[in-house]
Structure 1
Amino acid sequence: MHAFCKVMHSQHCLEVLGMNTASPPDCIKPATPYTGIYSVQDFRKDILDFFRCQYTMADDFIYQYHHLEEGEIRLAQLHVPTSAVTASFTPAITIVHKRLVDVKGQYEALSYVWGNTNPGGMRLLGCLGTGRFLWIGENLWSALRMLIQRRQAKSKKSSGTDLVWIDAICINQADEREKGHQVMRMRDIYQLSARTVAHLGEEKDDSRLFMWFMKRTVRKLMERFRRIHDEAAIRARIVVEYAIMADDEGFIDGAVRNETAKIINQIFAEFCDDPVMSKLLDNRRIMKSFALLLARPYFQRIWTVQELAAAGDSTLYCGSHFCDPVWMSCLLLNTLHPAGIQLTDYIDDHATRMSMCRGIAQFTATMSLRGNLRDNSYRGLHFLLQSFRPSLATNELDKVYALIGLSGEKHLEGFPIDYTKTKAEVYLKAAKAIIFTLDGPGEHVLYEAARSENALTDCPSWVPDWTEMPIRTNLGLTLSATAKWYCDASGERRRAVKADGKSGRPERMSIRPSGKTLHMKAAVLQQIAALGSPPAPNSEGSAALNTIHLANVIEDLARYKDELGSSAYPPTGQPIDTALGILLEADQPRQTDGVTNWNEEPGTRSFLYGVDFEVLLERAILGKPYRAFAAQIYLGCRSSIHNMIKATVGRRFAVSDSDRSFAALVPTRTQIGDWICILERAMVPFILRKNPEDGTFTLVGDAYVHGMMLGEMFEDEENLPVMQDIVIR
């Protein structure tokens, strides 16, 4: 027999490839004899290259999935060897079918990032007892090795097996119908697992040091927690306090969890007072390792949101070292943030800092969502899509599909997970579902569509492209939090604070989707007559989040002021400097509490807008036209500068036509002749482009128009805008 086949029949090959050695498939038999020395390592490399190049889809080599019966899932049964897992160890599995209800709490669910799935980066995973294989990515290969090592470390026996649910293995990725059905069950799969094991990747960037720090931290905090925490006493007090709900175990358990969380949060808040821990917090190497951990791809992928949020119990692994995500979240929010420790200070590379900030925003939002799910307090789909819009997905349909199961909205239970649909079809259906939500804020669809340039093809302008990174801040969100006025259906301006002092809220915007069009009422007011400078790239080539563009906008405003004259008054009747100062900030609150947009999150905005901060100072020193003007608009206030950059990102200065012209910040793609419109019950105006052939409109985006915000146009009873029916396509 050829040397090639002899190696194939060796017992070692069974462990290398997990293959039945009795009869090798014809596809791997050599055409010509091999002479010379041929090692197992040579064989392994050659055969993998051979399969990868020529037999990727060969039926006699690839594992063939069997049909899942109703209620069934697949599980991967790990082959745990008796010997230690070495660098050359190759994982192997057995795929089994089980009814989900029968294996509740008897399996673990793996959470990981798929990573590179190009043919050159794939590995062969042997399926024991079949003589066949599955192609898996390098990240999953690493995760399987971690799971097996973890199983060996936990087991007192010399060998054993574990059941694990792994999406890439337990779902037939080639069967779109099965894939859609199983994706619908993923929330239940993770909730019913004994534990979710999250694989962040291999050990690197001092991750081992941070995991050691977390273990020491948790050990110290748990000592204090046990001294002051008495669950029995807390439960007894809650039963008395909420006597009417004493028979509701779910309510009582939730109240106990909330009280326990308060104690843990308080302990973390006092963390910095401990002399030993405060020294560790001051350790730059530890804090940098934490920052780099949060910059990993795991904390930026959309599917990990569901996997962590739905998990009953979970552990984060880096290599063989681990920590609890709940404790890590507490450290981040209740210790570092109150202490003023900014993880951005420990990373010099701007791209890595941006990744870390996105990771922080997603991780903290995910842990908050996890708490909501445990208390049966669900978030709407519009909130989830807005909160996790910066999250990344390989398949753009997953930006919707990964969040549908977390919304808890009854009308979405039948939302089809169909991977044969196009992106435009799925996003249109999701937008309509949000609009039709009972008592839901349908106008959020328009606000979300306005946050980016919307490059969706074959899709209406009013449907958000949830795969695009948000460019503009959501004016409807930032202003509505402090709004005291709104417009009703007839255009009448009403107070949002009722006579009894309680807060009111605008009624829902009356939006009627019909096919790909949106029908509503609006006041079509004025056209754009002049435009200022378009966004300029910053020193790193990015057109977003930079002070260079802010400086250009300030120059535009300075020229506008010179043309009007210092004694001129805008339509609001305010001094020109006051009006333009408010315009530059888009009247945004300077406090960041309660915001959900990733670039407004308190832990990120302190550095995002300072990349080119020196540009402002340089221009002022050089005596640019806006020097005196800049001194009048609070350039000494850092929060004010942040607001200015947020307001001008993705926007440019504009002036409307007519004798009563208005100054505005409008979307970048606004054109001269576009219309400023106030949509029924909307708190901010929108820019619409009229289509001459049929009179319909295209949504360009929301705008800050000084004097038209929050129903100001309806104060003049003699010149009330006329509401009319319009169609947006």
Structure 2
Amino acid sequence: MAESSSQHAGSNQPLYLPLLESHVIRLLHLEPGAPDDPVVLRLALVELEHAPDYEAISYVWGSPTITKRITCNGRPLDVTVNLHAALVRLRYPDQDRTLWADAVCINQGHVRERSHHVAFMNIIYRYAKDVLVCMGRDPDGGAKDVVALIDEHKTRTSGHTPVSQMPIISPDDPLLDDPRWKSLAVLLERPWFSRAWVLQEVGMGEDPKVFYGDSVFSYRDLMQVERWIERCASNLQTRHGISFLSIHIGWEYWTPDWRSHSPWPEYTLLDFLGQARGLSCREPKDHIYAFLGHPLAQLEDGSGPIIQPDYEKDTRAVYQETATILFKDSGLRTLSSVEHDYSTIAEDFPSWVFRGNVELVQNALGVWRGYYFRASASVVVEPPTPTEENNLGLRAIIVDVVSKTYQFSTTSEDLESPSELRSRQPGDHQPVSLDRVWHDIHSDETPCKYPSDERLKAFSLTLCAGLTNYERAEDDFAVHWANFVAYWRLRLQCTSTSPSLEGLEEGEKKGDEERFWLDMSLSGEGRSFLITQRGYYCLGPWIAEPGDLCCVLLGANVPFVLRKTDKENHYRLVGETYIHGLMRGEVLDTMEENGYTEDSVIIC
């Protein structure tokens, strides 16, 4: 039935009547037309569980101030340019098409209705016959190349399931030089991939279809290509500028059986929310609400999400409610999901609360349990409970004081890629943080905790937090070292007229400079290289500063940086850190030798 039988042109009735109870939704009937015809819609109310077949649209809203006029229920309605383009692209020439699009099917001006619908948005997409992903125009004319690459990849992967069974492509494989990969890079730069809500939209679909220019292809097939690039052909990322967020392949499915599809079925809600910080949304609360449809964020009895969406609630209250849930589920791993910028660390708000809208680093070291880090060895503690003052009481071993900091940018400005280095003349290069670290670790005035013949080893491993392709770099240190030497020799040759290559002798095997750069970027972007008073090398929080304390919180897998407050034993949590040589319980093994003591700390 129509939303209102009297809603015709000139009617004084509102376009929307509030939908605040049960699963009653609006569907839109898109009338047929040619590409240049006006867009005409009719809205109808249906009970979701008894709805006719419909397709749900996934798209990027775009600017709310730049609109185009359509007709809805016989009256004018302004919609964003992107939604207008999607409706034109999806419209049939000779018959109606029944769709669901959030901007029209939810009264966006009614806060309570928005809150109510967000609570079961996952069901709306799950019940859809198809999910239609509208990527917009094809800016470089490469959509057909993308389709061809996807089809060729399906042939290549035949008989190889999962992708981990496939061979890693060598750096000199001609497949890496295929110019069509640049068209894939252009597609993956589309704004759609950076938006928070789209994960749920495609995650609930059985086989979402991507509309890109004039081409249509399977979203699932595209994800298979991304998964293969990350695991087997990472050099494509540097050579062709292919960039994508791993969350799309790690959280591709949102159905109840998502673990059977996931490369990492052991993931928890903390893993999910931590990886999702890099996604954007207009409403800060949506950094939580956009992910409540995933099974990990649903109540066990199936009655709805663990947090009831409420757009009238204060954003910080939403974050604190979420943090309390995460602590109960994941304990001290939750602290590794906390990041701060200069403004949030200064706020009168608990520093231990996970904030979905602060995202600086690519990789939270202490969240995923698959990493080798065990800074507090086998110590196990109960999940901390916030006090009435919203503080956390913990046991800690203070390791050292930060002496020097070298801040890396949240992009590759400091950690230049091999291709960027090759494009520069040495005389034009301006020293960046990475160059200053290199200079200072060679200075006799800079303390060094490590033997002189292991100084560069410690430096190389610290830059990538001891990881290569998510595995422990020291398990095949010869390969890591060859990759580091290849990158650093290139860096020195391209940034200095008379580079010193002492200690960087090439071995029998030529290293892969692109692999080291990827490892360094994954761990280093958005962090700072730290040197402590005792000479430890650390990869720590972006906002760390001299005088901050490096410590091991008992029960946590990685060390942390704390900042003193005016109140005794009260500290602000600055963030997690990698401390070379102290990531596998060494602090507890050498407490007496190094004069360490266990203390009570209060994180406020």
What TM-score, normalized to structure 1?
0.66
Give 3-state SS (helix, strand or coil) of 1:389's partner: helix
Change (3 A) 1:631 1:451: farther
1:553 aligns with 2:445: no
Partner of 1:185: 120
**Counterpart residue type for residue 674 of structure 1:** D
Give 3-state SS (helix, strand or coil) of 1:363's partner: helix
Change (3 A) 1:292 1:707: closer
CA contact (8 A) 2:200 2:254 kept: no
CA contact (8 A) 1:451 1:474 kept: no
Deviation at 1:728, TM superposition (A): 0.9
Change (3 A) 1:317 1:171: same
Change (3 A) 1:644 1:100: closer
Partner of 1:326: 220
Which digits, 9 at most, give the CA deviation of each residue in 1:67-103, with x for residues without a partner? 455221111112224xxx132x111111111111102
Equivalent residue for 1:578, pick from 451, 454, 465: 454
Equivalent residue for 1:421, pick from 303, 310, 313: 313
Change (3 A) 1:336 1:671: closer
Deviation at 1:387, TM superposition (A): 2.2
Change (3 A) 1:640 1:479: farther
d(CA) in 2 for partners of 1:476, 1:725: 21
1:433 aligns with 2:325: yes
d(CA) in 1 for partners of 2:104, 2:132: 16
Partner of 1:95: 43
**Pairing 1:496-507 to 2, within 5 Å after superposition:** 507=380
d(CA) in 2 for partners of 1:454, 1:479: 30
Partner of 2:602: 727
1:303 aligns with 2:197: yes
Change (3 A) 1:147 1:631: same
CA contact (8 A) 1:384 1:407 kept: no
Change (3 A) 1:545 1:462: farther
Deviation at 1:214, TM superposition (A): 6.2
1:530 aligns with 2:420: no
Give 3-state SS (helix, strand or coil) of 1:308's partner: helix
**Counterpart residue type for residue 476 of structure 1:** G
CA contact (8 A) 2:339 2:358 kept: no
1:75 aligns with 2:75: no
Equivalent residue for 2:249, pick from 353, 364, 369: 364
Higher helix share: 1
d(CA) in 2 for partners of 1:635, 1:693: 54
Give 3-state SS (helix, strand or coil) of 2:355's partner: coil
Partner of 2:338: 449
CA contact (8 A) 2:340 2:358 kept: no
Greater CA drift, 463-472 or 401-410: 463-472
CA contact (8 A) 1:71 1:100 kept: yes
Equivalent residue for 1:651, pick from 509, 528, 543: 528
Partner of 1:134: 77
d(CA) in 2 for partners of 1:653, 1:476: 18
CA contact (8 A) 1:208 1:321 kept: yes
1:470 aligns with 2:419: no
Equivalent residue for 2:556, pick from 679, 682, 691: 682
Deviation at 1:477, TM superposition (A): 5.1
Give 3-state SS (helix, strand or coil) of 1:442's partner: helix
Change (3 A) 1:392 1:340: closer
1:390 aligns with 2:266: no
Which digits, 9 at most, give the CA deviation of each residue in 1:681-726, with x for residues without a partner? 1232212112123541101122333443332121136457443332
**Counterpart residue type for residue 652 of structure 1:** F
Change (3 A) 1:366 1:508: same
d(CA) in 1 for partners of 2:120, 2:591: 56
Deviation at 1:394, TM superposition (A): 1.7
- Structure having greater relative contact order (Cα 8 Å, sep ≥ 6): 2
d(CA) in 2 for partners of 1:704, 1:21: 62
CA contact (8 A) 2:26 2:44 kept: yes
1:293 aligns with 2:187: yes
Partner of 2:91: 148
What TM-score, normalized to structure 2?
0.79
CA contact (8 A) 1:379 1:406 kept: no
CA contact (8 A) 2:402 2:549 kept: no
Change (3 A) 1:160 1:67: same
CA contact (8 A) 1:678 1:685 kept: yes
**Counterpart residue type for residue 517 of structure 1:** N
Change (3 A) 1:613 1:190: farther
**Pairing 1:163-242 to 2, within 5 Å after superposition:** 163-210=98-145, 213=148, 217=152, 221=155
Partner of 2:476: none
Deviation at 1:204, TM superposition (A): 3.2
CA contact (8 A) 1:583 1:704 kept: no
**Counterpart residue type for residue 63 of structure 2:** N
Give 3-state SS (helix, strand or coil) of 2:41's partner: strand
Deviation at 1:530, TM superposition (A): 2.5
CA contact (8 A) 1:551 1:616 kept: no
Partner of 2:54: 107
1:512 aligns with 2:385: yes
Give 3-state SS (helix, strand or coil) of 1:475's partner: coil
Q: How many residues align?
A: 558
Deviation at 1:435, TM superposition (A): 0.7
d(CA) in 1 for partners of 2:276, 2:552: 28
1:122 aligns with 2:67: yes
Deviation at 1:449, TM superposition (A): 1.2
Change (3 A) 1:173 1:125: same
After superposition, the CA RMSD in angstroms is 4.2
d(CA) in 1 for partners of 2:468, 2:198: 30
Change (3 A) 1:321 1:405: same
Give 3-state SS (helix, strand or coil) of 2:210's partner: strand
d(CA) in 2 for partners of 1:507, 1:21: 64
Give 3-state SS (helix, strand or coil) of 1:689's partner: strand
Deviation at 1:420, TM superposition (A): 1.4
CA contact (8 A) 2:16 2:107 kept: no
- Percent same amino acid at aligned positions? 22
d(CA) in 1 for partners of 2:412, 2:589: 44
CA contact (8 A) 2:63 2:80 kept: yes
Change (3 A) 1:530 1:562: closer
Change (3 A) 1:672 1:635: farther
List gaps (5 residues or longer) in structure 2. Answer: 1-5, 418-430, 473-482
**Counterpart residue type for residue 398 of structure 2:** L
Give 3-state SS (helix, strand or coil) of 1:357's partner: coil
**Counterpart residue type for residue 359 of structure 2:** M
